[in-house]
Amino acid sequence: MMQISEFKTAGRLATLYTDAKTAGPLLVLPVFEGNGSEICETLARQSSKPFRLLCLSALSWEDDLTPYPAPALSAKDRPFGGQAEHLLRVLENDILPWSLSQLPKAPDYLGVAGYSLAGMFALYAAFNCRYFTAVASMSGSLWYPDFVRYLMQKSAPAQPLRIYLSLGAAESRTRHPQLRRVGECTQALYQFLKDSHYEVKFEEQPGNHFHKVTERIVTGLQSLL
C-alpha cells in the first residue's frame, strides 16, 4: 500500500508515493493534470520492482518545462516562457530535500521522466543536475527550437546516465512545420547519444501524441526500474 505525502512550494505541488517496506529508486515525474495517482497505481500493478514516485503538478506547462523562450506554435497559443532552470532549482533546493527526508531508506538512485514538454524537461534536468542517473522522455517535445542542438553541446553531470526515448509512430504526420520535425529530431538525438556512448534505448509505439498516454508513461517509468 502506497503512502501519500504532499508538499507545496513556490506555487507547485509535489506528491510523493512511497512504500515503507521497500527501497528502490526515486522517480520524478511532472504531470499535466491531477497528482499522478493513476500513473502510480498502474505502475505498481504492472511492475514487481520497488519504486518511489514523486509527481510535480500545478505547473505552468508552457513556462516551467521549457529551457528558454520560444514563439507560440499558433496565434491561439501562448509563447513558451523558458523557466525550466527555475523549476529545476526549486526541485533541487526544496522538493528533493523534502522528499528525501520523508523516505525511511535512501533511494538506490534518482531518475526523472516526463511526457511531451515534460519529456523535454526530463532531458534538460538530467543534463543540468548531478542527481539524476536515469531519464525517460516519452513523446518528448524534441521539436522545440534548437533543443537537440543544445543537448548535443552538453554532457550529463552524472555518469553513467541511462536514457530511454519513445515516440508515437504517427506523431510526425502533422501539417505543422515545427511539430512534424519531432521524429527527425528524436532520431538525431538518439543517434548522437548512442555515438557518445550513453546507455540509450529508443522505442517507437503505435499512435499519435495523444494515444494511450498513461500506458506510454508507465512503460517509460518501467524502463528506469
Q: Which domain, by its residues, includes 124?
A: 3-223
Question: The domain that contains 157 carries what CATH number?
Answer: 3.40.50.1820
3-state per-residue secondary structure call for 21-86: CCCCCEEEEECCCCCCHHHHHHHHHHCCCCCEEEEEECCCHHHHCCCCCECCCCCCCCCECCCHHH
Instruction: Show the cell assigned to 123.
Output: 532531458
Question: Of residues 157 and 52, which shows the higher confidence score?
Answer: 52
Q: How many folded domains does the chain comprise? A: 1
- Judged by DSSP in three states, 180 sits in helix
Residue 140 and residue 116 in contact, taking contact as beta carbons nearer than 8 Å: yes
Write the single-letter amino acid at 79.
P
- Predicted confidence at residue 179, as pLDDT, reads 97
How many Cα neighbours within 13 Å face the side chain of 29? 33
Task: Reply yes or no on whether the pLDDT at 23 is more than 90.
Answer: no
State which H helix or E strand residue 128 sits in: none
Task: Reply yes or no on whether the pLDDT at 21 is more than 80.
Answer: no
Average pLDDT over residues 113-131: 97
Phi and psi, residue 214, nearest 5°? -60, -45
- Predicted confidence at residue 22, as pLDDT, reads 72
CA distances from 45 to 1, 41, 75, 121, 130 (A): 11, 6, 42, 27, 31
Which one, of 167, 200, 210, lies nearest residue 185 by Cα?
Answer: 167
State which H helix or E strand residue 210 sits in: none
Task: Reply yes or no on whether the pLDDT at 19 is more than 90.
Answer: no
Task: Reply yes or no on whether the pLDDT at 79 is more than 80.
Answer: yes
Instruction: Provide Rg for the chain, Cα atoms.
Output: 16
Residue 18 gets the label, from left (phi > 0), alpha (psi -120 to 50) or beta, of beta
- Tens digits of residue pLDDT in 85-101: 999 999 999 999 999 99
Distance separating alpha carbons of residues 66 and 124, to the nearest angstrom? 9
Which one, of 142, 126, 45, lies nearest residue 91 by Cα?
Answer: 126
Which one, of 216, 144, 138, 204, lies nearest residue 179 by Cα?
Answer: 144
pTM for the model: 0.97
Task: Reply yes or no on whether the pLDDT at 56 is more than 80.
Answer: yes
127: DSSP letter = T
CA distances from 83 to 59, 67, 68, 201 (A): 11, 6, 7, 28
Instruction: Show the cell assigned to 109.
Output: 538512485
